[in-house]
Every structure is written in structure tokens, then in C-alpha cells.
Amino acid sequence: MSYTERLPRNRTYLMCPPEHFTVEYAINPWMDTTVTVDAGLALKQWEQLRTTLTGLGHVVHVLDPEPGLPDMVYSANGAFSVDGTVYGARFKYPQRTAEAVAHQAFYLAAESWKFVAPEQVNEGEGDFAYLPGAYGGIVLAGYGFRTDPAAHAEAQEVLGRPVISLRLVDPAFYHLDTALAALDDRHVTYYPGAFSPASQRVLAQLFPDAVLADREDAEAFGLNLVSDGRHVILNTEAVAMGHKVREAGYLPVHVDLSELKRGGGSVKCAVAELRA
Ligand SMILES: CN(C)C(=N)NCCC[C@H](N)C(=O)O
């Protein structure tokens, strides 16, 4: 299938500008506190990502950044929404705890959302992905480094969708969204080596037609992508991954997010999808 036959679906996203972005603590293997981040460049690259999404016709809401929360730019970690219900985040590391409060305030201010505060540790869309067209609507959920597996059961109760637990085994791919992405409502791409052998079997059973990525793709943050069903927005460095998604019939759109990679994230981490 060519990308011209694929129908994009208009999306609504939430992003947070990296106005206070630094790497001043290290909570994942990509963070190196001895390297200085170019804050100006980070902001420019973020703006480029935002205009790429709006240029494709999507709506982007902006969350106010807060001083002292350098990771707030990774807005995908702040919550997980499905059909108007929001399962709030509860961060594993204290450095990020307050971000959940800012996200909660955003949803409560809009009033139309049903916000549910979590009891279990979970990092929002970092570890949860929703596929509305697969098996009537399923949630894929990662655990092993950040999100507690107990949060998977909690999310299932809150959202009323089957949640498939997948165990992540490689610290370089500490969130589900570094190792797996939805290409559209029912197709995924993933790097098998990031998952336990049993979870690899689960993925192969559920998604026999998945686009398989390799370690190099994952290290280039090529799986940390955002797709509207036709356009696949991914990091510039992820050249080979761009070819793979094109071969699968999607249109790759590369955006340079070199500075955000220093904090351990890329396109997907910086973009939360709001599913009303
Ligand atoms: C899965 N990724 C890559 C994300 N969704 N978020 C990035 C979070 C980065 C932050 N320094 C942290 O380690 O929490």
C-alpha cells in the first residue's frame, strides 16, 4: 500500500516547550550530566516539531513549563488518555514527581476530561500505547524499568480496555515508547530485542504484520515516533527507520531533536496525544 492510500486522522496533542531544559541529574543511560545542553537549540528544535505537527493539520496545546522541572518537555510521560478518560501519571523518580501535578491541572481545567489519579507508579504514554483498531481497542503497556506492573491492572480498571503487559529488558530502552510505536490504529513497529522472549512471542502473536526494527533503529530513537496514520514523524538520525516505514507505506517526516536525545527522549516523548 502506498502512503497516498493511507488516511491520516486529525489528532490533538499536548507539548511543553523546553524552556527550563537541562541535564542536571541522570535517571536513564542516555543522560550525561557532564555534557552541556544547548537550551536555545533545544527550543528551536522543539518549535520545529510543533510547527511540523500543526502544518500537518493537527491541534497542539501547550503546557506551561515550570522552572526546576527540566524533563517537563517530555510531555508524553504526564498522563495517558483514552476516549475522554485520563489515567494520571505517578513518576518513579522524585525529580519528576511535580510534573504529574501540572498535567493533572491541565486536564482538570479543561473540565471535559474524566481524570483519575493513579495509586501505582506509571509514566503515562512513556509506557502505555493505545491501538483503537486492534482487537476492538487494546492498550499495550511496558514494565521493567519505570512503570509498576500493578499500574497495568489499574489502567485496565480505569480505562475499561484490555491491557497487554510487555516486559522491557534492556535499560537503554527503559520506556515502551523507545521500543515500540503505533503506526496507525492497528499496526505497530517494534524492536524485539528490547522485550523479554515471552513478550516477544506475545507481540508476534498479536501483530504478525508488524514492521520490525533493529537495535540501530532503536538507538537512533527511530521508534520514538508519532504517526497520524499516514505521516510518521521521527528523529533525523533515524534514517534506516525512515526507509522501513516508507516501505511499509507510510510517509516519513524527519525532525532534528538532537538536544532532546541528551535527556533520553525524542519525538514521541515530547508529544502526548489527547484522546477525547
Ligand atoms: C520514553 N521516553 C523516551 C520518554 N517518554 N520520555 C523521556 C523521558 C526522559 C527523562 N529524562 C526520564 O528519564 O524520565
Separation between Cα atoms, residue 211 and residue 213, nearest integer Å: 7
* Tens-binned pLDDT, residue by residue, of the chain (276 aa): 899 999 999 999 999 999 999 999 999 999 999 999 999 999 999 999 999 999 999 999 999 999 999 999 999 999 999 999 999 999 999 999 999 999 999 999 998 999 999 999 999 999 999 999 999 999 999 999 999 999 999 999 999 999 999 999 999 999 999 999 999 999 999 999 999 999 999 999 999 999 999 999 999 999 999 999 999 999 999 999 999 999 999 999 999 999 999 999 999 999 999 999
Mutation pick for ligand 1 pocket among 95, 175, 190 (CB with most ligand atoms within 8 Å): 175
Separation between Cα atoms, residue 249 and residue 243, nearest integer Å: 10
Which grid cell sits at 67? Answer: 522552572
Burial 3-27 (b: 16+ CB within 10 A, else e): beebebeebebbbbbbbbbebeeeb
Is residue 175 among the annotated active site residues?
yes
pLDDT of residue 111: 87
Separation between Cα atoms, residue 230 and residue 128, nearest integer Å: 21
Tell me if 8 sits within 8 A of 231, measured CB to CB.
Answer: yes
152, 175, 231, 254: the catalytic one is 175
Q: Give the CA count within 13 Å in the CB-facing half-sphere of 88.
A: 21
C-alpha 276 – ligand 1 centre gap (Å): 24
pLDDT digits (tens, 9 = 90+) for 7-45: 999 999 999 999 999 999 999 999 999 999 999 999 999
pLDDT of residue 1: 86
Which grid cell sits at 101? Answer: 501535578
Residue 110, Cβ neighbours under 10 Å: how many? 13
Q: Give the CA count within 13 Å in the CB-facing half-sphere of 209.
A: 8
Tell me the backbone φ, ψ of residue 150, rounded to 5 degrees: -60, -25
pTM assigned to the model: 0.97
pLDDT of residue 247: 97
In the chain the first and final C-alpha atoms are separated, in Å, by: 29
Separation between Cα atoms, residue 20 and residue 115, nearest integer Å: 27
Tell me if 267 sits within 8 A of 45, measured CB to CB.
Answer: no
| Residues with a CB atom less than 6 Å from ligand 1 | 27-28, 31, 71, 74, 76-77, 96, 126, 175, 177-178, 224, 263-265, 269
Residue closest via CA to ligand 1's atom 3 equals: 265
Is residue 58 among the annotated active site residues?
no
Which grid cell sits at 201? Answer: 512471542
Closest among 123, 89, 103 to 61, alpha carbons compared: 103
Atom of ligand 1 at shortest range from CA of 221:
3
Tell me if 86 sits within 8 A of 12, measured CB to CB.
Answer: no
Q: What is the DSSP letter of 65?
A: P
16, 187, 231, 269: the catalytic one is 269
